Structure 1
Amino acid sequence: MLQIDTWKRVLIWLVVAFGIVFAAPNLFYDRVERHNDAATAIEREGETEERTAALGAWPSWLPSTIINLGLDLRGGAHLLAEVQVEDVYDARLEALWPEVRDTLRPLRDSVGTIRLQDGTPGELRVTLGNPDGMGQALSAVRELAQPVASVASAGASDIEVSGEGDTLVVRLSEAEQRATDDRTLRQALEIIRRRIDEVGTREPTIQRQGEDRILIQVPGIGSAAELKDIIGTTAQLTFQPVVGRGVAESTDPGIGNEVVPALDDEGVFYELERAPVVTGEELVDAQPAFDQNGNPAVNFRFNAQGARAFGEYTAENIGNPFAIVLDNEVISAPVIQSHIPGGSGIITGQFTVEESTQLAVLLRAGALPAGLTFLEERTIGPELGQDSIEAGQIATMVAFALVLVFMFACYGLFGLFANIALIINVALLFGILSVIGATLTLPGIAGIVLTVGMAVDANVLIFERIREELKTARGPARAIERGYEKALSAIVDANITTIITAIILFAMGSGPVRGFALTLGFGIITSVFTAIFVTRLFVTMWFERTRPKTITV
């Protein structure tokens, strides 16, 4: 008998209502977007009259989730950056020098004087006063080697130690370089993502390309230059001992030292020890603040390891200056007045409020492990994005209209039921995409157009099967019921293969391909639901009300 249980009817109507309610905010996109932006700004920076007015653009009791528009629809910035992984090799070897020095000091009777050589990229070269002690030196330094932190290079050592005459040479092993490259790219990806998220942009695309490149696409941002300002600064913060201060750049800072310019005093240079006391990697928090004179500053706090190192250094160097260095510029060089045990402090300088806020964002997001070289940069204007939206809308409406006309012309009243279900199908699809925060791109619109075309396939199978059953079944009710039953296997088989294809595209593809796969996959799910349940509910309600003796499909 053609019937649907009450609880099933209620459940179907609840799902339909869900789709309509959560898809509705997309019809008022600008208003809802202003409301969401104002809510975020109030949460982060406080309430103002303008933000309160924007917050009222959309009722707070209604859903405010909308589909994010991709770069090709909204406009924005596109960057292709190359990570200078070689910088990390040199930094690793520089950080290794204090350990090598401390290891060789007890062997001075055998190796003689120890002197660090400068100017050899990718190598740490140490000259020994007595070459006869090279064997002991090599054995001692090789004990500093650690296993490579990579499953692919299990058992390999991170450094290679060799001797060249009176010079001990330390290099990173090939296995360690590969592991370092991978870690550097992963860290850079995460830090870039955090920096972009900090400024509140929507749904950026940040992907690794090849061995040392990163693709960055951010919708809604003004220009590629603005995006570079956010992510291009490495924000490498170090606290280094001060050796001296002068008004001219020294050509010979001495072994293990470097000359760094002052940020605020033009022509002033500091001679610093190259090995830092603490680095920005030990930072756990940084917030914009004001110093005791009311000038903008940045409060910072170290983790336990950084706090311990910072506390020990300040306890042993009271009365001596130390430099706070950001991206190879001394932003402050205060004198240590007392022991600082808490691992927290304040960075002062000639900042504006915006500069202190931006510095806090960069430090909180973390330091990029290496510099970036921008190989490609492109700005997509909002006008081009608007043209794409209009073209996509026209394509969708034309496809939608043709499908509606075809279904009604071929199947009459049953085609009308299918058309109503098709509208509900699109609402469900937009509702799901809004709830999960999906990003809609031009290929995504193509997926929606394809979904509209495929949405009626299941109904065509059902209606054609009902036509066949009308020739043999006992009465129209039995024909409709058997039509749905016998068409179900074909519908499931056909759509499962399409969903598998969408899953593979989403897993293996990137960017626009994933956008197409997402809309196609969810479109198949909503299409099957509306064909099997919604149209059947419409047909059942119509049949219960009219009780026709014969039907025409």
Structure 2
Amino acid sequence: MLHIDLWKRVLIWLTCAVGLWLALPNAFYPRVETHNDAEAAIAKGQTGPELSAAAATWPDWLPSGLVNLGLDLRGGAHLLAEVQVGDVYEARMEAMWPGLRDALRPERAAIGTIRKQPSAPDEIRIRIGNPDGMARALEVVRGLARPIQTLTGVGSTDIEVRPEGDQIVVTLSEAEKLASDDRTVRQALEIVRRRIDEVGTREPTIQRQGADRILIQVPGIGSASELKDIIGTTAQLTFNPVVARGSDPDAQPGVGEKIVPALDEEGLYYTLESAPVVTGEELVDAQPSFDQNGRPAVNFRFNTTGARKFGDYTAENIGAPFAIVLDDEVISAPVIQSHIPGGSGIITGNFTIEESTNLAVLLRAGALPAGLDFLEERTIGPELGQDSIDAGKVATMVAFAAVLVFMFLSYGLFGIFANIALVLNIVLIFGLLSLIGATLTLPGIAGIVLTVGMAVDANVLVFERIREELKTARGPSRAIELGYEKALSAIFDANITTFITAVILFAMGSGPVRGFAITLGLGILTSVFTAIFVTRLMIVMWFERRRPKTIEV
């Protein structure tokens, strides 16, 4: 006999209600978006009657999650930038010269005078006064080589040293160049992401392409030139004394103090002296390394001015913490263990190798490490995006209407039940997209249109099976029950294979392909749910009320 437990009925209708609740804001997109933007501005400390009025455009007790519109729907800017990784080599060589000079000075008795010679950007040439001391000079310089840290451990050294007559030639090793290129692109990627996030745009696409390129797509921004200006701004990196730490963001700081949140520890706030000890402009380098116990750490180095200020401060504040602040967020607050002369220090902690690498990236994120060469620039106007939305709406409505008419003409009352389930199916898709904050692109709309056509497949299988069972004269109740039971395996087999394809597309694809995979995958899940549970529940409720002796499908 047809029967569905009460708790199952409540759960099915509750799921549909939650989906409708989550999808509701998308029906009032401009109002909710204005509300969300105003709330974000208020959260950053901005105030004003305009913001308060904008925040009040949507009730706080209603959900405010929206389906983000991609670049092709909303308009915006598209940039493809190539990172000039070679620029870093010259800076590394320049930063290395003081250390080489200081290491060779005590050996003057054996090697003679030390003179830096004109050289290529990616090398240092040092002429020594006494060529007979070349062996000793090479030994000293090679002693400055550092092991290269990788995710698999320690590889080769970072420099190569060779003699050429009375000159010592120091270059970066090939392994170090590869590692440096990777760090440079990662650093540029992090800086670009932080700069764009500051603008508050919704769901920008910032991803690495190939070895040295970055794809940047920002919906809702005016033009590509405006986006380039945003990327060109400089991050603010400072090293500040720590006064206290706590969990109250509204605590009143003292004169000359400020409260700054921790980057990686939610709910933790630091009270800092507003005047920094040194700033990111005085930071020369920060690299992942290992401490004396072999644990991952981060080495950093200041220029001459920063080294002097940092050395004086650490000598006077042993045992006190100091904060590394990036864009008004504390990324680390190590304790000063000893006097740190020379402008070099090490940050230790319970880091993994990947975490120490990421921290080094953040420390270097005060400015772009190398120039960006913009290979491709496009500005997509909102009118073009609106045309895409309108075309997608028309396509969806035409497909939707065609399926509704077909199902009604083919299956009568049962077709109406399937049509109601199809409407709920679309609602559930938008509810899930809003819940996970997914980005809807033009291929994503194509996935929804495809889902509309595929959504009734399960119902068609069930209804055709019910027709066959009715021919056995077992009665309508038994025919409906057997129709669902025998069609279930075919429904799962057909949808699981398609769902696996969607997962593979999402994992292996990028951009538009992933947008299509998301809507297709979610559409399969909601289609199976509405076909197996929602349509069946409506049929059971109708059958319990009418108790027909015969049915037509």
Shared fold, TM over 0.5: yes
Asked whether 1:455 is paired with 2:455, we answer yes
- What is the rounded CA distance, in whole Å, between the counterparts of 2:447 and 2:2 in structure 1? 35
Alpha-carbon spacing, 1:364–1:195, altered in 2? closer, same or farther (3 Å): farther
| Deviation, structure 1 residue 187 | 2.0
**In the TM superposition, what whole-angstrom CA distance separates every residue of 1:473-508 from its partner, at most 9, and x where no partner exists?**
621111111111111111111111111111111111
| Counterpart in the other structure of 1:254 | none
| Counterpart in the other structure of 1:311 | 310
Alpha-carbon spacing, 1:54–1:151, altered in 2? closer, same or farther (3 Å): closer
| Counterpart in the other structure of 1:80 | 80
| Deviation, structure 1 residue 315 | 9.7
- Identity of counterpart residues, as a percentage? 72
| Deviation, structure 1 residue 304 | 9.7
- What is the rounded CA distance, in whole Å, between the counterparts of 1:74 and 1:114 in structure 2? 62
- What is the rounded CA distance, in whole Å, between the counterparts of 1:237 and 1:414 in structure 2? 65
| Counterpart in the other structure of 1:70 | 70
| Deviation, structure 1 residue 92 | 1.9
Amino acid at match of 2:489: S
- What is the rounded CA distance, in whole Å, between the counterparts of 2:59 and 2:237 in structure 1? 45
Extract unaligned runs of 5+ from structure 1. Answer: 240-275, 283-302, 317-340, 344-361
| Counterpart in the other structure of 1:444 | 444
- What is the rounded CA distance, in whole Å, between the counterparts of 2:496 and 2:308 in structure 1? 59
| Deviation, structure 1 residue 99 | 2.0
| Deviation, structure 1 residue 365 | 6.0
Alpha-carbon spacing, 1:43–1:363, altered in 2? closer, same or farther (3 Å): farther
| Deviation, structure 1 residue 383 | 0.8
Aligned pairs for 1:374-393 (under 5 A) are 374-393=374-393
Aligned pairs for 1:347-496 (under 5 A) are 366-472=366-472, 474-496=474-496
Asked whether 1:129 is paired with 2:133, we answer no
| Deviation, structure 1 residue 81 | 0.5
- What is the rounded CA distance, in whole Å, between the counterparts of 1:238 and 1:163 in structure 2? 41
| Counterpart in the other structure of 1:217 | 217
Q: Secondary structure at the match of 2:79?
A: strand
| Counterpart in the other structure of 2:271 | none
- What is the rounded CA distance, in whole Å, between the counterparts of 1:14 and 1:280 in structure 2? 58
Aligned pairs for 1:74-473 (under 5 A) are 74-151=74-151, 155-233=155-233, 278-279=282-283, 310-312=309-311, 366-472=366-472
**In the TM superposition, what whole-angstrom CA distance separates every residue of 1:266-315 from its partner, at most 9, and x where no partner exists?**
xxxxxxxxxx9931767xxxxxxxxxxxxxxxxxxxx9987886332689
| Deviation, structure 1 residue 151 | 4.8
Q: 1:204·1:219 contact (CA, 8 Å) conserved in 2?
A: yes
Alpha-carbon spacing, 1:4–1:315, altered in 2? closer, same or farther (3 Å): closer
**In the TM superposition, what whole-angstrom CA distance separates every residue of 1:369-393 from its partner, at most 9, and x where no partner exists?**
2121111111111111111111111
| Deviation, structure 1 residue 170 | 0.9
Amino acid at match of 2:282: V
Q: 1:234·1:371 contact (CA, 8 Å) conserved in 2?
A: no
- What is the rounded CA distance, in whole Å, between the counterparts of 1:145 and 1:137 in structure 2? 13
| Counterpart in the other structure of 1:11 | 11
How high is the TM-score relative to the length of structure 1?
0.78
- What is the rounded CA distance, in whole Å, between the counterparts of 2:308 and 2:67 in structure 1? 48
| Counterpart in the other structure of 1:285 | none
**In the TM superposition, what whole-angstrom CA distance separates every residue of 1:370-422 from its partner, at most 9, and x where no partner exists?**
12111111111111111111111101110100010001110000000000000
Q: 1:280·1:366 contact (CA, 8 Å) conserved in 2?
A: no
- What is the rounded CA distance, in whole Å, between the counterparts of 2:217 and 2:124 in structure 1? 38
- What is the rounded CA distance, in whole Å, between the counterparts of 2:314 and 2:436 in structure 1? 52
Q: 1:207·1:215 contact (CA, 8 Å) conserved in 2?
A: yes
Q: 2:207·2:214 contact (CA, 8 Å) conserved in 1?
A: yes
- What is the rounded CA distance, in whole Å, between the counterparts of 1:204 and 1:413 in structure 2? 46
Amino acid at match of 1:398: V
- What is the rounded CA distance, in whole Å, between the counterparts of 1:277 and 1:445 in structure 2? 47
- What is the rounded CA distance, in whole Å, between the counterparts of 2:425 and 2:32 in structure 1? 23
| Counterpart in the other structure of 2:515 | 515
Q: 1:153·1:175 contact (CA, 8 Å) conserved in 2?
A: no
| Deviation, structure 1 residue 433 | 0.3
| Deviation, structure 1 residue 233 | 4.3
Q: Secondary structure at the match of 2:176?
A: helix
**In the TM superposition, what whole-angstrom CA distance separates every residue of 1:103-125 from its partner, at most 9, and x where no partner exists?**
21121111111122245211011
Q: 1:280·1:363 contact (CA, 8 Å) conserved in 2?
A: no
| Counterpart in the other structure of 1:42 | 42
Q: 2:235·2:365 contact (CA, 8 Å) conserved in 1?
A: no
- What is the rounded CA distance, in whole Å, between the counterparts of 1:108 and 1:135 in structure 2? 13
Amino acid at match of 1:440: L
- What is the rounded CA distance, in whole Å, between the counterparts of 2:40 and 2:100 in structure 1? 50
Extract unaligned runs of 5+ from structure 2. Answer: 240-279, 287-298, 316-340, 344-361
